[in-house]
Amino acid sequence: MENAQDYYRGHGTITSPGTFAGILLGFPRDLESLCKVIQGVLIHRDIAPWLYSLTLTDERRDVANLRSITSMTSEILALDPRPMTEAREPVSRLPCVCRHFATMLCAVLREQGVPARARCGFGAYFMPGKFEDHWVAEYWSEAQRRWVLVDTQIDAVQRKAFKIGIDPLDVPRDQFIVAADAWQMCRDGSADPGLFGLSIINEAGLWWVAQNLIRDLACLNRIEMLPWDVWGIMPEPTAELSGDEIALLDRVAELVRAGDSAVPELHEVYQDPRLHLPSVIFNANRQRQETIAF
């Protein structure tokens, strides 16, 4: 069986660039320049009014529901047909959220032959004392023989506004908490589940950690869904999980935390219908069911 690096060097359905492969191959290969290119075509829809003086209509905000790299790239080029390596003004960037930054970096790196994956979890560098719902990318550094976390979203403007002191190109593991670690911290009592969530909507709790754990499991199976896509045993806000569900998520967290050697088992556990992505999910952002088609 292929090793973890080989597996994450390959695309899943969402990151496969299709006819846009040549465009992704034309992106810079040094990480800092690559992140700047991505920042020049994407803009976080919730931060846009605050930091970039860009007010978005509901229709423009809804663009953040695009899932695949092909649909994202099509929209970027429809907004501005210039090469994507040329930075756009904020008004001509694709409105999105952290997941899209992470997924695009993941797609480009995979196309360039670098093992990469999106990770769902919580950032500790936005709100002091809180673990904010967030996504980053992770790539395999052959030189360092380790997986490196990269927050593609954080540009110079956001570093200043959020007073971020870490290096977004090498995020410390205690500053971005992958969902499995967050789950373990909450389960063993070393962290309060009420600190994990999203402050701007005043929601947090173990249910949120559980949802992100399942989304991260999907990412580790090369399925990068939206942060508000809900399926399987993802609990509703404030809902409690059953004993069997907690035991299953304990197992998922254990496998994720075990590292690359457990990737085959991550594939196996993902086949459980309580965890596996079905053909119809609930889009909590749009408040409706959607058939998944990429």
For β-strands 176-178 and 146-150, DSSP reports them as: unpaired
Neighbours of 23 (CB within 10 A): 17
Q: How many domains does the chain have?
A: 1
Tens of pLDDT, residue by residue, the chain (294 residues)? 579 999 999 999 999 999 999 999 999 999 999 999 999 999 999 999 999 999 999 999 999 999 999 999 999 999 999 999 999 999 999 999 999 999 999 999 999 999 999 999 999 999 999 999 999 999 999 999 999 999 999 999 999 999 999 999 999 999 999 999 999 999 999 999 999 999 999 999 999 999 999 999 999 999 999 999 999 999 999 888 999 999 999 999 999 999 999 999 999 999 999 999 999 999 999 999 999 976
Half-sphere exposure (Cβ direction) of 275: Cα atoms closer than 13 Å: 29
For β-strands 196-198 and 146-150, DSSP reports them as: unpaired
Can you tell me the distance from the alpha carbon of 205 to that of 60, in angstroms, rounded to the nearest whole number?
30
Tell me the residue range of the domain where 214 lies.
Answer: 4-291
